[in-house]
Amino acid sequence: MIKSLLLSLTLFAGLFANLVQANVKSEISTDITHKVWDKLLSDNVVAINNGHSTQVNYAGFKAQHSQLKAYLDLLSATSKSEFYSWEKSKQLAFLINAYNAWTVELIVSNYHPQKNHQTKQHPKLKSIKDLGSFFRSPWSKKFIPLFGETLSLDDIEHGLIRGAVDTRVTDTGKSKYNEPRIHFALNCASIGCPALREEAYTGEMLETQLQQQTIRFISDSSRNFAKGNNLNISSIFKWYGDDFKNGFKAATSFEEFLLLYVNELKLNAAQQQALKNDDMKINFLDYNWDLNALN
């Protein structure tokens, strides 16, 4: 009887120890995932334009392609159940990193740095749009193994990030994350895009990182600036206007969102009042789709 009890306790203790060890390994794996991406970004992303923009060393990413692939494999190995057990900030950081990393992978897998001129075998990649076709954009191409499915960049951005509805919230018209600042964190490998951040996003630092990215982009006078009664802003605010009217800091329009950043836009008192009164003329600037490559 005593032997049986001791044996049971021993088995239970062993099972408990294995469970704890598995949980620790899971946490370590998650940490390593972001550290790998963080190092790759640190090595291959360079700030330009007084810090408002970045250029990407795709040749450097190409040289470290095995590390990039290892990182993507770790993302793919994350189960849907594990993902949904996390806090929302950790989920969102994961999805932003995933979008940016697979965008880099799409470029790197089609980038040939040794070819300085266009050839029939390796045409020079000038824009991410070159990787699409007449029938399908590069963002709709399904090449991303994630959560047991094969997804596209559009699936991550518009489905998992922008369109993910939290059924626990009565207003199902809002995204689960309801975070318009993601548009300054997601990078589309183009000069017109917000900067690819030089570090990985993390759940713990997400609020600070998103705020910094937003200020970084909005304060760039080459993309957003007022002149008299005209406000010239990035086309991002036209394409994703609905995302800025869902109550982020009480903003119900992209104009109200911009009023949160009047100092960054350098709006004087008259311009601020005109924007509040919907009296400013809004002009959406052309988007530069050229590749944001360092060389």
- Partners of 190 in beta bridges: 291
**Dist CA 247 CA 193 (whole Å):** 24
**108-126 pLDDT, tens digit each:** 999 887 654 455 555 689 9
- Unique residue bearing structure tokens 């960054």: 264
pLDDT at 136: 85
- pTM, two decimals, is 0.85
**169-197 pLDDT, tens digit each:** 444 445 689 999 999 999 999 999 999 99
Hey, where are the domains in the chain? 31-219
Provide the b/e sequence for 160-185 (b: ≥16 CB within 10 Å): bbbebeeeeeeeeeebbbbbbbbbbb
- More confident: 145 or 132: 145
Type of residue at 135: F
Is residue 91 within 8 A of residue 144, CB to CB? The reply is: no
H helices within 155-241, ranges in order?
206-218, 236-239
Is residue 251 within 8 A of residue 238, CB to CB? The reply is: no
pLDDT at 284: 97
DSSP letters for 169-185? SS-TTSBSS--GGGGGT
pLDDT at 168 over 70: no
Residues 6 or more apart from 119 whose CB is under 8 A from it? none
